[in-house]
Amino acid sequence: MDFKNISLIGFMGSGKSTVGEILAGRLGFIFIDLDRIIELSEEREIRDVFKRDGEKYFRELETKVIKKIYKNKKCVFACGGGVVKRKENMHVIKNNSIVIYLNITARNALDRLRNDKNRPLIDVENKKEVIEKMIKERDILYRKYADIVVNNDKNDPGQTSNEIITRLKVQK
């Protein structure tokens, strides 16, 4: 397996961080969560970034971090659910990693995120409608950029990691 990096993309709650950590351990790669890097560099939580400075400011930070962090090799990156919104993000990500889309249904996303207060875009009254609409729009983008699509509805990160490793071996 001679790829440089792996990127996990997918909707909030799809398991990118959990699967990413296991996957990195099994491959001997370093796990990097892009949202955590943003929080460390800002010294505040993402919800505070959104609250004080808005989504546009957050997206600028996200792009800046992507341009820097993808200079590394042998990393598994858990990307924020919105990275696919900017072509310039995906240009860097596609050029420097194998992209894996962790796919879940809107119903499972809602179940997993029902009580979540840390994701400002879905911290709304009509959570169900917002999640359904966002997944519908984003699924097209996730598929467009993915080299591999893996379902994670069962929420079994160990098994999902195994499936990814098998698919990576077949691909290479």
Q: Which residues are near ligand S3P by CB under 6 A?
A: 12, 16, 35, 46, 80-82, 119-121
What is the smallest separation between the CB atom of 30 and ligand S3P, expressed in angstroms? 18
d(CA 77, CA 29): 10
Give the nearest distance from C-beta 127 to ligand S3P in angstroms: 14
Q: Which residues of 7-31 are buried (b: 16+ CB within 10 A; e: fewer)?
A: bbbbbbbbbbbbbbbbbbeebebeb
Least CB distance to ligand S3P at residue 123 (A): 9
Q: Which residue type, as a one-letter code, is found at position 31?
A: F
Tokens of 61: 């930070």
Nearer CB in complex with ligand S3P: 81/157: 81
* Nearer CB in complex with ligand S3P: 1/88: 88
Rg (alpha carbons) of the chain, rounded to whole number:
15
Place of tokens 């997944």: 135
Minimal distance, residue 51 CB to ligand S3P, in Å: 11
Q: Choose between 41 and 171: whose C-beta lies nearer to ligand S3P.
A: 41
Cβ 152 to ligand S3P shortest distance, Å: 13
Nearer to ligand S3P, 120 or 163 (CB): 120
Helices marked H in the chain: 16-27, 34-42, 46-69, 87-96, 106-113, 127-145, 157-171
State which residue, 76 or 171, has the beta carbon closest to ligand S3P.
Answer: 76
